[in-house]
Amino acid sequence: MKKIVILISGRGSNMQALLETNLSCHVAAVISNRADAAGLQIARQRGIATAVVAHRDYADREAFDAALAQAIDAYQPDIIVLAGFMRILTTGFVNKYSGRLINIHPSLLPAYGGMNTHERALQDGVKIHGCTVHFVTPDLDHGPIIIQAAVQVLSDDTPHTLAQRVLHEEHRIYPQAIRWLCRGQVSLSAEGKVISDRLEQPGSPLIAPGLE
């Protein structure tokens, strides 16, 4: 059975969604850059090993990433899962785990990389928004896409209401993506392309508007 390590910085709602489903793999540890991350206690209550690598203890990103990699490697994971891990990782770290480092982002990438995705989507007046699970590459929030889910943007949406609907979809598709990876159904090719025996993403189109 493949092993995963989950990285978090806060409450870890996506981590909790992963722990509450059948992943077809073993969660070896949860690691955080913050000792007060609420998700650590959730993991401990489930008997999962935890560790803290505090970024403030290191002079620069390279030193922090080296310490983080050492903590990760102690568990010899097959997959490293970012679940609300709020640190930008160095190119060296990302390349070390190429094809094994996974992230979820609250937008339909490649649109709206970075922060404040819901506010920006509303400001631009887009009609469809969503979330994306992708392989992590040095190009921030632009790695090869594994799965996406979309929601309709409503006329009375606020950043909070839109975020809640997107988060619901995050909690659905992240476990699905990790299951595929744990079963060997999805991988990353040497050319940086997603290889999958999932010929089509399950489900129906979100919206096919009628014409007058």
Q: What residues act catalytically? A: 105
Question: What values do phi and psi take at 11, rounded to 5?
Answer: -70, -25
Amino acid code (one letter) for 38: A
Helical H runs in 46-202?
61-73, 91-96, 117-124, 159-182
Residue with tokens 């910085």: 9
- Quick check: bond before 209 cis, omega within 30? no
Alpha-carbon dihedral angle through residues 3, 150, 171, 187, given to the nearest 10 degrees: 0
Alpha-carbon dihedral angle through residues 99, 100, 101, 103, given to the nearest 10 degrees: 90
Please, how many CA atoms are within 13 Å of residue 173, restricted to the half-sphere of its CB? 28
Q: How far apart are CA 161 and CA 183, in angstroms?
A: 34
